[in-house]
Amino acid sequence: MATAGQIWVVLVALLAGRVWGGLTGDGADFGSGDGHGADLTGDGAVPTIDEADLASGDGADLVNGEADLTSDRPDMTSEADATQLDRQAADFIAKLNQDYQLHCNQMVKKRWNFNANLTDHNQKIMNEYAAEYASYQKEKWAEVIQWDWMKINDPLTRRQFKHFSTLGPAALPDEKFKMLEDIMMNSTDPEELKHVWLQWREQSGKKMRKDYIQFAGLINDIAWANNFTDGTDMWLDDYDTPDFRERLAALWEEVAPLYRQLHAFVRGRLRARYGDSVVSRSGPIPAHLLGNMWAQAWGNIIDICKPYPEKKAADVSAQMKEAGYTPVRMFRLSEEFFTSLGLEPMPDTFWNLSVLERPADGRELVCHASAWDFCDQRDFRIKQCTVVSMDQLITVHHEMGHIQYYIQYKDLPMALRRGANSGFHEALGDTLALSVQTRKHLKKIGLLKEEKDDPEVDLNFLMLTALDKIAFLPFGYLIDKWRWDLFSNVTSPEDLNCAWWKLREELQGVKPPQPRSEADFDPGAKYHVPANTPYVRYFVARILQFQFHKALCQAAGEYDPQDSSRPLHQCDIYQSKEAGKLLSAMMRLGHSVPWPDALEAITGQRAMDASPLREYFRPLEEWLTKENERTGETVGWKSGTYIFIKGVRKCSLDSNFLQLMFGRLVTVC
């Protein structure tokens, strides 16, 4: 088996040009995740150090100048008593935290610099420091694993050792094909959509298949070097829950009935648009017709999915422009939302150093919205090319939620400045957005005129929300499920693509526009797969945000399950100090306690629960059930078929589709 050092060198070579993650956890990309209706570009990344910093080489000597942390390590062969071990371990970890904070700060500055100003010069500085930072991480990891830290009595110290004892890679994104994304969002020509879908995968995933197989093996080597069973075990370690996979499976089964009703309805509307020859009555939906390159969010086809097409949703973009809103005003409005809950205002550094709109000097930058923690307990920024619109206003609140989380846990030791688990950060931002997007809130802040509540407008709103949040659930679950099976040798390297489409058919009910083979590598077309970014955090976040929302709404007196006049989807926690107390109690904990403790602080429960999500969407689910019965839609989809064609293993999910394409089935397996 390769040594940890050899693995590290190979991975650096394999991921040449990419950056290794720091200590921020949620984190690995310093960004906000996969939300906002766009695929994550991985930019959680970096506006600029000023030229003075660059000229002076700010922090360039840190790697060679850190304090010697090995001198306080106890003689592990001696019989030092538990008290001495705890004291020495606490001293060691305190110095390590302080040193790591300096390195992390420099790494984030250089990533911010490049992402906010995409020049070769800034990239060179970032990559050079990234290599030093990676070497530093490896060196400190080697010191940490010398400690018999499981014998440390203090749980906080032990938790920090556990964090530092795992070494793993993170990456920056590949370039995006913006033009192709626009076509997927707006085209209604099935042949054009099919062409774009195929070309994206031809130019991305297919080319990296061999490298990814090698890379997956290296992930397992890293896991073994860190005393994990395999890569799956290592990835799930963040959740501190032995049966976490089983819990996720149970959560999926809890939400699957709602997803299947939505799937049946959307398939019917697509069939009405494209005809039976393109969309069958009972089969999987062709993935290229759902308005998104990965069929992970379906909001771009809301035009054919509104329950009441004549009723308009509450989009206050025009009102914002009429009222003279600017990007800065949008962020000030969001800040006031947080302070109305009794939470913290933004520090001066936020307003002075953030990039809140596209710079007027014409520089190129990564515009994807992202929130940044600079690891120094005072510098927190957002980078967003904000435009004045309601959609962007919601994104602003989402990103500000990340900043508030950073501020709340900033006084914890460096290793514990993270969300309670990888899903908490995303869940928090989305929880706040659930209040901001309500008609009630828009009325309170003067962006919506007083109008009588309309159940039909409500259903249109819930449909749009479901096309984002419910449609995403199986996709958010299956990406890592596919990778877990690969790391655990349930899936062989010879069956990567078939295993991928098997899961997409079974869980998501979609199929490719034409048969796929093992010469293809369709998972690689999704950024998070080659970037080695765990993805199930987004599934977890979708569940948690509704659990958080329900608890906060009840604390605010905005929701009563027994009162039909106050449904969960209309709740707005704005100005509720009681809701703010719960949020703060959870956020201040950071990663200092197991996530069930943090969940209990805000919800009173210690287990994730999908029933609040079902409560939120109950009016829509009831409507979908009746509508699908009325139109005779099949709920669910037929199982797929796996075949060989012309001696090459092919994957398809619909035998009728294959017969149409090839005239006959050759071998069924």
Calpha distance 107→27 (Å, rounded): 13
Q: What is the number of H-type helices and E-type strands within the chain?
A: 25, 8
Give a three-class secondary structure readout of 609-653: CCHHHHHHCHHHHHHHHHHHHHHCCCCCCCCCEEEEECCEEEEEC
Known binding residue 426? Answer is yes
Q: What is the DSSP letter of 188?
A: -
Residue 383, H or E segment: strand 380-383
Widest distance between CA atoms in the chain: 78
Tell me the residue length of the chain. 669
Q: Are 199 and 516 in contact (CB under 8 A)?
A: no
Contacts of 147 (CB under 8 A, 6+ apart): 73, 76, 89, 92, 161
Known binding residue 163? Answer is no
Q: Are 426 and 32 in contact (CB under 8 A)?
A: yes
| DSSP helix/strand/coil, 78 | coil
Known binding residue 398? Answer is yes
C-beta neighbour count of 404 within 10 angstroms = 26
Residue 252: closest CA among 655, 608, 625, 652: 608
Known binding residue 239? Answer is yes
Calpha distance 377→347 (Å, rounded): 11
Query: What is the distance of C-alpha 363 from the center of its chain?
Result: 27
The amino acid sitting at 325 is Y
* Burial state string for 529-565 with b = 16 or more CB within 10 A and e = fewer than 16: bbbbbbbbbbbbbbbbbbbbbbbbbbbbebbeeeeee
Q: Are 85 and 151 in contact (CB under 8 A)?
A: yes
The β-bridge relationship of strands 667-668 and 641-645 is antiparallel
Calpha distance 292→549 (Å, rounded): 27
Known binding residue 537? Answer is yes
Q: What is the DSSP letter of 283?
A: S
Residue 535: closest CA among 548, 523, 522: 523
Q: Which residues are catalytically annotated?
A: 399, 528
Calpha distance 657→513 (Å, rounded): 9
Q: Which residues line the annotated binding site for Zn(2+)? A: 398, 402, 426
Q: Which residues line the annotated binding site for chloride? A: 239, 537
Q: Which residues line the annotated binding site? A: 239, 398, 402, 426, 537
